[in-house]
Chain A
Amino acid sequence: MAELFYNEFFRNALLAAVLAGISCGIIGTYIVSRRIVFMSGGITHASFGGIGIGYFLGINPVLGAAIFAVISALGVEYFTKKAEIRNDSVIAMLWAFGMATGIIFIYITPGYAPNLMSFLFGNILTVSLPDILFMVILTCIIVIVFVLFARIILFMSFDEEFARIKNIPVQFFNYLLISLVALTVVINIKVVGIILVLALLTIPQNIANTLTMSYQRIILYSVLFGFIGLIAGLMGAFYLDIPSGASIVFTLVIMLIIVKVFKRVVKS
């Protein structure tokens, strides 16, 4: 096993697992506790449109995805608050529209046909050094925001109306946080792919929530469980020769089941 660490791809994958664990642990706790998982799913799939346009224009598809995801995030946040259209319908439309846009642009891009599968299902072993750099920067921003504004984020997520009465700039924080959700999704697309990234944002949190009702502890445990799942999944992928994204999600679900059963047994 030691020789694995001399493998550059594997080292990058390990770093990516740490960063994905932290970013998804924190952001996932935010979206799960605030019940905006579906919204986050919409933003995730909308980012595929950005990938397609990125290919078509010849710019970095991840950059395309980031721009598309943030714009959709701000748009969804804006429209769902205006409440003229039903919230979940807006998200579903955005979800499908993003995927459609991505497919069309990739299809009409002349010549080069990128590997769609890698975006849909990810591959932690393909995470490059620039990807890691991007992940480091974003993870730092997330940690700083969630440490500095821990109180506000907790109280506002719990009861937005009350925070508004207390004259907290709720709208500003909503936009800031939903943008961080969008960017977290984008940096983790390479790791587990568009279709599976939601798993990384929700399963560790649900494992954690089985064990604690404290917001702070859910974040900590989620980071830990996410990391364990990522590493175990990576190992599974490596030794069993199966796709890493699927292997990671599979591991996380097994962990969730074990913890749930464990809790049942302890209780009775």
Chain B
Amino acid sequence: MQKLVEIKNITAGYNGLIALDHVNLTINSDDFIGVIGPNGGGKTTLLKVILGLVKPLKGRIVYNLSEGENRINIGYLPQQFSADKKFPISVEQVVLSGLLKRANIIRGHSVREKDKVTEVITKMGIAGLRSKPFSELSGGETQRALLARAIISSPKLLLLDEPNTYVDQVFESELFNILEELNHKMAIVAVSHDAGMISSYVKTIACVNKKLHYHPSNEINNEILKAYNCPIDLITHGTVPHRVLKDHK
């Protein structure tokens, strides 16, 4: 186990609005952290701070690089695909874009890269969609393609923002099985609105509601959530209040 990313006393926000207030979190190389919290609690902002997309107002982030690395490789699955869904690009090209690097700006795609695509799209169950236009994918297929893009470069850290939206029940459990397997090779931070669902897969939980409360276990209940000032509704997911979510599965 090795410290990968240390978030130290980060305050971040947008034009005067504070989204994260003095937040601390350490991500280790074998972590699988579930991030939960109410809508607007700052979960997405937390991921964007880690990615360097949102510049913190206060505090700092330390990335612990291994030898020969000049930058930590992070895989990312955005919450909403903000880009243009109609853009003329094939599934293969979308997945290949995950291998983009500053160093190989000019090069074309090598055979090895194409093989890598085959490997990840097969894992995601979309091998048959390889040369389809990305715009013609369904919600769930889009999510799989974007997940393939996120992991194709074998990142050290995988950040997933609500990966289980748009996917059906079958793929949802399949997805978390894939993530558990990936977790042998990379740290994972997964945001979810479905605390019950996610707690049965993750190792630890971070509750984010402007403040961040780290819970070093995957067992959590409404009392703890209340104590963490992290009001999310566990009942809607079929769990009886006070019940340990571990049983929820």
Residues of A contacting B24 with CB < 8 Å?
Answer: none
- Separation of A115 and B93 alpha carbons in the complex (Å): 48
Residues B105 and A149 in contact, CB atoms below 8 Å apart: yes
Contacts A149-B105, A151-B105, A158-B83 given; indicate if A163 touches B100 (C-beta within 8 A). Answer: yes
Closest to A169 in B: B102
Closest to A166 in B: B100
Closest to B131 in A: A214
Residues B88 and A215 in contact, CB atoms below 8 Å apart: yes
Q: Give the size of the chain B interface in residues (CB under 8 angstroms).
A: 29
Residues of A contacting B83 with CB < 8 Å?
Answer: 158-162
Residues A213 and B53 in contact, CB atoms below 8 Å apart: no
> In the complex, which of the residues A34, A152, A218 contacts B100, with contact meaning CB atoms closer than 8 Å?
A152
- Separation of A155 and B96 alpha carbons in the complex (Å): 9
Considering only residues 31-81 of chain A, those with a C-beta below 8 Å from chain B are 33-35
A84 to chain B: closest CB distance in Å?
9
- Asked if A165 lies at the interface with its beta carbon under 8 angstroms from chain B, I say yes
Residues B53 and A164 in contact, CB atoms below 8 Å apart: yes
Residues of A contacting B89 with CB < 8 Å?
Answer: 154, 158, 213, 215
Contacts A167-B71, A214-B88, A215-B88 given; indicate if A158 touches B94 (C-beta within 8 A). Answer: yes
- Asked if A148 lies at the interface with its beta carbon under 8 angstroms from chain B, I say yes
- Asked if B236 lies at the interface with its beta carbon under 8 angstroms from chain A, I say no
From DSSP, what is the main secondary structure of chain B's interface residues?
loop
Residues of B contacting A169 with CB < 8 Å?
Answer: 102
A154 to chain B: closest CB distance in Å?
7
Residues A149 and B90 in contact, CB atoms below 8 Å apart: no
Residues of A contacting B108 with CB < 8 Å?
Answer: 150-151
Residues A167 and B93 in contact, CB atoms below 8 Å apart: no
- Separation of A164 and B71 alpha carbons in the complex (Å): 13
- Asked if B2 lies at the interface with its beta carbon under 8 angstroms from chain A, I say no
- Asked if A133 lies at the interface with its beta carbon under 8 angstroms from chain B, I say no
Closest to B87 in A: A158
Give the number of A-B contacts (CB < 8 Å).
75
* Among B74-82, B169-177, B240-248, the stretch in contact with A: B74-82
Contacts A151-B105, A151-B108, A165-B52 given; indicate if A158 touches B84 (C-beta within 8 A). Answer: yes
B235 to chain A: closest CB distance in Å?
35
From DSSP, what is the main secondary structure of chain A's interface residues?
helix
B108 to chain A: closest CB distance in Å?
7
A192 to chain B: closest CB distance in Å?
25
- Asked if B51 lies at the interface with its beta carbon under 8 angstroms from chain A, I say yes
Closest to A212 in B: B88
Q: Give the size of the chain A interface in residues (CB under 8 angstroms).
A: 29
B 124-142 binary contact with A (CB < 8 Å = 1; else 0): 0000000001011000000
Residues of B contacting A152 with CB < 8 Å?
Answer: 100, 105
Residues B90 and A167 in contact, CB atoms below 8 Å apart: no
Considering only residues 80-129 of chain B, those with a C-beta below 8 Å from chain A are 82-84, 87-90, 93-94, 97, 100-102, 105-109
Considering only residues 206-232 of chain B, those with a C-beta below 8 Å from chain A are none
- Separation of A93 and B189 alpha carbons in the complex (Å): 44
B171 to chain A: closest CB distance in Å?
22
> In the complex, which of the residues A34, A158, A209, A213 contacts B97, with contact meaning CB atoms closer than 8 Å?
A158
- Asked if A157 lies at the interface with its beta carbon under 8 angstroms from chain B, I say yes
> In the complex, which of the residues B71, B88, B94, B107 contacts A213, with contact meaning CB atoms closer than 8 Å?
B88
Residues A165 and B53 in contact, CB atoms below 8 Å apart: yes
27 A-B residue pairs with Cβ-Cβ distance under 8 Å, sorted by A, are A33-B84, A33-B87, A33-B88, A34-B84, A35-B84, A149-B106, A151-B100, A151-B109, A152-B100, A158-B84, A158-B87, A158-B93, A161-B53, A161-B78, A162-B76, A162-B97, A162-B149, A165-B52, A165-B74, A166-B100, A167-B71, A168-B105, A209-B88, A213-B90, A213-B136, A214-B88, A214-B90
Q: Which residues from chain B sit less than 8 Å from chain A, CB to CB?
A: 51-53, 71, 74, 76, 78, 82-84, 87-90, 93-94, 97, 100-102, 105-109, 133, 135-136, 149
Q: Which residues from chain A sit less than 8 Å from chain B, CB to CB?
A: 33-35, 148-152, 154-155, 157-169, 209, 212-215, 218
